[in-house]
Structure 1
Amino acid sequence: MSTGASTNTGGSGKSALVIREFVSVEGGGGNARDEADAIRFRLVSYNILAQVYVKSSLFPHSPSPCLRWKARSQVILTLLKDLGADFYSLQEVDEFDSFYKTSIEDLGYSSIYVQRSGQKRDGCGIFYKKNCAELLLEETIEYNDLVPSLHDEAYLSSDKQNAPLTNRNNGDSSKQDLSEKFSILSVKSSPENRGDPNDPRVRLKRDCVGIMAAFKLKHPFHHVVILANTHLYWDPELADVKLVQAKYLLARLAQFKTLVTDRFECTPSLILTGDFNSTPGDKVCP
């Protein structure tokens, strides 16, 4: 299903929010019994644009009052309320503690959230109706885990280009193994080239994150659903970084699905949402 929103000025010159209706993706040839037994819920994935990125120079055609947080926050909240989804998968959430958490809780939702690494204030959040689903398990994804460690510098040499990094650090073995698998070395790391975009410690460190969670849908389904939400790096000049992030995400999701399957003795469904900064035909979404 898909949905969206737009503004329409009409003849009055006043902007009015237009809420598009959900478009069903059902009716793919199943029989009536299959449709009656189908698991139904509403899910919205939405990059809501972090307020820190809202600048008049980037939106010259938008009236200044519309760009201010006081106005934007209420419009966003009204939109989410009107959509009436069971799950919201939101990207670029930068006012989680001060606004979204409590405001959406007042609408009957619980939430989980991961903020971007480094100095970035925004992150990814999943909001779910408390009377619709129960949170069973959650994990965060830090794409900076792909960055080769400074402690491994001694193990790098110019004759081992494009070889996976050997991680000697302690920590989560599964995440460590995946980080080793996807860390691609193109040049020798040294203090002199730490600003070089070809240095994997520079190229892969983009402070992007993701979050994945297992939910048990409540009456009448009692089915487990895994929902993942992420925001991949944006720069088309670094398409390889975005692809590595996507591969790491899928590998972590596969591990998470196995964990959920074994721990809760179920066969979970899996839904991946997010802002992938990609278009059809890109390597991320061919």
Structure 2
Amino acid sequence: MAQEDYDALKYRKWIKLNQSSNNNDSNISIMTYNLLSRHYIWKHVYDQNNPKHLDWAKHRFPLINQTIRQLKCDIMCFQEMEYYVYKRFWSKKFPNDKFKSFYIQKSSAQFIPTDLTDGVGIFINTERFDILDEIKINYGQEILKNQNKYSLTNDLISRVIPRNTVGLILKLYDKKFNKILYVSNTHLYWSPKFNDVKVLQTKLLLNKLESSRKELDSTVIFLGDLNSNYDSDVVKLLRDGQLDSTTSKEFKNHKYGLNNELMDSNGIVQNPFSLRDVYETLFDNCKLHFTSFVSRFSDVVDHIFVSDDIEIRQVLGEVDPNYCASKNGKGFPDGQFPSDHIPLVAEINYKSI
């Protein structure tokens, strides 16, 4: 495929979810996209992929650039964004000079980052939004800096604190509608052996978001690669508003104390926000089979959650199942999709507009 002929939407279609408003000028487009850092191209995962489709300079980087420019959402959130590539190519005037970017790189007490180490970024269309504040959070460091707020159990010290996972929150002012939005982006720890840690990382980010949010009528957008599917405790916490750690199998044999910043005296992990996943309707109707697709794994692990004041107009649908069947299970990246994740994209607006 000639790169100038590349169309990121060739095997995906827009799905309308709500047509109550015809005012397209009020829409806000948002995206979350895991770019697949070169650092994580592990042979045992990508051994069935065509080597030319794993080539960063000649294939993946150009197609990722074209995908981002084609979608060009008002709010674009990225995971596995390498620090060097961000600073060298994406930190300024990308995808055009109307955008401003923010970034946090992964790090921990046990892990010294290099230029190849990835992080998460948020890119904002400044024609639509003013950026009022930026809040960075490294989950392990957050606990170490506020030790009196937590129960420093062996599990907290050995399982949560060493992880180098990070999150990023921006406070935005919508100049068109005089609204305040808080956008949070994260990439939770990957291993299924640490599903309890993912819940606690989510709780740490929710706490930071709650303490930073001064306007009770402001909009909240919580998204990223959560490394958690619809049956997970992470999604249950975000969707249902709470999680009982005493009955969760993921917390069995793990102790994090009670009556602290992570859980109450009954072991309940609370979500202070009322949120819904913009892709849940598609998933419930078997119209979203994966957001990440590799030879030995495919599942919905990327999510966009929004607060109750938001109406979901449309979302970018799943990859054509016929195209996926033609892959014979080899997964992405391939000639069409330059990452092992697909970008999730939604158009939303305010219910009161």
Using structure 2 for the length normalisation, give the TM-score: 0.57
Matched, 1:84 2:65: no
Q: Cα offset for 1:146?
A: 5.2
Q: 2:89 & 2:25 partners in 1: Cα distance?
A: 35
Alignment check: 8 A CA contact 2:74 2:125 kept: yes
Asked if residue 44 in structure 1 is aligned to residue 31 in structure 2, the reply is yes
SS in structure 1 at match of 2:77:
strand
Runs of 4+ that moved beyond 6 A? none
- For 1:249, which of 198, 201, 205 is the aligned residue? 205
Matches within 5 A, 1:18-167: 18-19=8-9, 20-27=12-19, 36=23, 39-70=26-57, 71-94=59-82, 95-102=85-92, 104-106=94-96, 108-117=98-107, 118-120=111-113, 121-145=117-141, 147=143
Higher strand proportion (structure 1 or 2): 2
- 1:122-142 Cα shifts (integer Å, max 9, x gaps): 001000112121100110011
Q: What stretches of structure 2 of length at least 5 have no aligned partner?
A: 237-353
| Residue number among 258, 273, 281 corresponding to 2:223 in the alignment | 273
Distance in 2 between the 1:105 and 1:78 partners?
Answer: 9
* 281 and 55 in structure 1: CA distance in 2 versus 1, 3 angstrom threshold: closer
Per-residue Cα deviation, 1:153-191 (whole angstroms, up to 9, x for no partner): xxxxxxxxxxxxxxxxxx6xxxx2xx54454514xxxxx
Matching residue of 1:151 = none
**Structure in which a larger fraction of residues adopt helix:** 1
Separation in 2 of the partners of 1:246 and 1:184? 18
Larger radius of gyration: 1
Residue aligned with 2:69, SS = helix
> Percent identity between the aligned chains?
25
Paired with 1:102 and 1:36, the residues of 2 have a C-alpha distance of 31
Q: Is the 8 A contact 1:182 1:248 kept in 2?
A: no
Local SS of the residue matching 2:46? coil
Deviation at 1:98, TM superposition (A): 1.7
Greater relative contact order structure (CA < 8 Å, 6+ sep): 2
CA distance in 2, matches of 1:126, 1:223: 19
Contact 1:101–1:111, Cα closer than 8 Å, also in 2 = yes
Q: How many residues align?
A: 221
Contact 2:68 2:95 in 1 (8 A): no
One-letter amino acid of the counterpart of residue 185, structure 1:
T
| Offset at residue 208 of structure 1 (A) | 0.2
> What CA RMSD, in Å, does the superposition of the two structures yield over aligned residues?
2.6
TM-score (norm 1): 0.69
Structure-2 residue corresponding to 1:6: none
SS in 2 for 1:284: helix
The secondary structure found in structure 1 opposite 2:173 is strand
